[in-house]
Amino acid sequence: MLGSVAKFSQRVSAKTKHPIGVALIERIPWDDLRVLVVVARTLSFRKAATALRTATTTVLRRIERLEELLEFRLFDRVPDGLLLTAEGRAVYVIAQEMELTNHKLRAHLDQNPTTRGTVRCSVTEGLGTAWILPQLAQFCRTHPSTIVELRCAMEVADVLHMEADVAVQLQRPARADAKALRLGRMHLYPFASKRYIELYGLPKSTDDIKQHRLVDQKAAQVEENIIPRLLNLPSIEGIVGFRTNTSTAHAHAIDLGMGIGGLPTYVMALGADLVPVDIGVRHQRDIWMTYHPDARDVRRVATFIDWLRTLFDSKRYPWFGDEFIHPRDLMGTPPPPDMGLASRTLFPKHRVKTA
C-alpha cells in the first residue's frame, strides 16, 4: 500500500493533447469512474473505501489505473486529504452525468416487475441487524426479483449522491433537497443482565452508578458524551468496563454481564432476558428515512420504501411511538414473524455454565 501511495503522490500532472470528451471516457470501465466519483465526494481514499465497502488499496489501484489511461493526475495530496486537479474536476463532472444517466436508465428498465434488480438500503447497525434483517425474509419471499443489499453501518450514506437508494438513520437529514420522513422514535433505557446483578447488584440511583461497571459505545450517530450528561457526571472514565463501536457487540456485552448499558426498549420484544435499571434515566432518538427525490421512480425502490415504513408503525409496534413505554410493560410481547433467530442470536437464553 505504501508503494501505491508513493506512486500516486509522485505522478506528474500532464496536459492532454485532446480535450476531455465522450470518446476518452468510453475507454474507461464504469466501475472505475464510480470509484472516482466517490473519492471526489469524500476527498479521502479511506472514506471512499468505506463507502464502497472495499479495501483502501483497491481504491488506490482503481485511481492509478484511471490516471494511466487518461495520462494525467486526478488528485493532489494535501495534509488533510485530497484535492481534485483541474483535469480531475473535468472528468468528475462527466462521471456525475453518467451516474445520473445510469440511474434514469435503471428506473426505466425497472418498470418491468419481472426484471431482477437491486435495492440498496443503508441503516444503522443495530436497527439493521436486530430489527430490519429478520423481517426481510418475508419481503424477499414476496418480491423474489428484488435483490436487497443491506448495508449495516453507523456512517450516514449520501443518498443524493446515490451511495444508497434509501437510508434509515438516527440523524435528521441535513440536506433539504433529499426526501425525508420520520419513521418513529427509538426509546433507550439502561439494562443489566441477571448474571451482572448476581455479581454486582443493581444501582438504586445515579449516585450509585459510580460503584458499577458500564458498557459504552463510540460510533457515528451515537451522541457524544450522552451517558455523562444523563448521569450528571463530568466523565464516565473509570467506571466503563467495556467499550465498542458496534451496536451488536454492545448488546452482547450487556447480555453477558460485562456491565450496565443503554439499549432500545424494543429488545424486550426480541426476548431479551434483561432487567431494566430504574435510576430515573432514559433517552430517545428519532428514526429517519431519507432517499433521493427520484428514487421512487424505480418501482422496486418505491415498494421497498413503502415496506420499510410498515416496520415502524407505532400501532403494530408501540415501542416506536412517541410516548415512552416502560420496558417492563413490553415483556412477553410477541415478536414479529421470523424474529426467532435474531432473538436467539442476540440474546441467547441458555448458556453453558462455566466455573
Which of the residues in the chain have pLDDT under 70?
Answer: 1-27, 103-115, 337-338, 340-346, 348-355
Whole-number pLDDT of residue 341: 58
Q: Are 200 and 153 in contact (CB under 8 A)?
A: no
Q: Residue 122 has which C-alpha cell? A: 443503508
Q: What is the pLDDT of residues 101-112, one digit of tens each?
A: 776 666 666 666
Class in CATH terms, 2-109: mainly alpha
**Mean pLDDT (the chain, rounded):** 85
Query: What three-state secondary structure class fits 97?
Result: helix
Q: Are 74 and 67 in contact (CB under 8 A)?
A: yes
Q: What residues contact 36, with CB distance under 8 A and at least 6 apart?
A: 62, 63, 66, 74, 88, 91, 92, 95
Could you give the residue range(s) of every CATH 3.40.190.290 domain in the chain? Answer: 118-355
Whole-number pLDDT of residue 184: 97
For the chain, give the longest Cα–Cα distance: 76
Could you give the residue range(s) of every CATH 1.10.10.10 domain in the chain? Answer: 2-109
The fold of the 118-355 domain, in CATH, is: D-Maltodextrin-Binding Protein; domain 2 (3.40.190)
Whole-number pLDDT of residue 343: 61
Q: What is the pLDDT of residues 29-38, one digit of tens each?
A: 777 888 888 8
Q: Are 1 and 59 in contact (CB under 8 A)?
A: no
Q: What is the pLDDT of residues 89-103, one digit of tens each?
A: 888 888 887 777 776
Percent of the chain with pLDDT over 90: 49
Question: What is the model's pTM?
Answer: 0.71
Contacts 24+ apart (CB under 8 A), 277-281: 277/189, 277/190, 277/191, 277/192, 277/202, 277/203, 279/190, 279/203, 279/204, 279/205, 279/206, 279/208, 279/209, 280/205, 280/206, 281/189, 281/190, 281/206, 281/230, 281/231
Q: Are 87 and 13 in contact (CB under 8 A)?
A: yes
As a whole number of angstroms, the distance between CA 292 and CA 307 comes to: 17
Give the alpha-carbon dihedral of 95, 97, 102, 105, to 10 degrees. -160
Q: How far is CA 19 from CA 2, 24, 29, 86, 270, in A?
A: 33, 9, 19, 12, 60
Whole-number pLDDT of residue 179: 92
Whole-number pLDDT of residue 1: 43
If we measure between CA atoms, which residue out of 296, 299, 302 comes closest to residue 113? 299
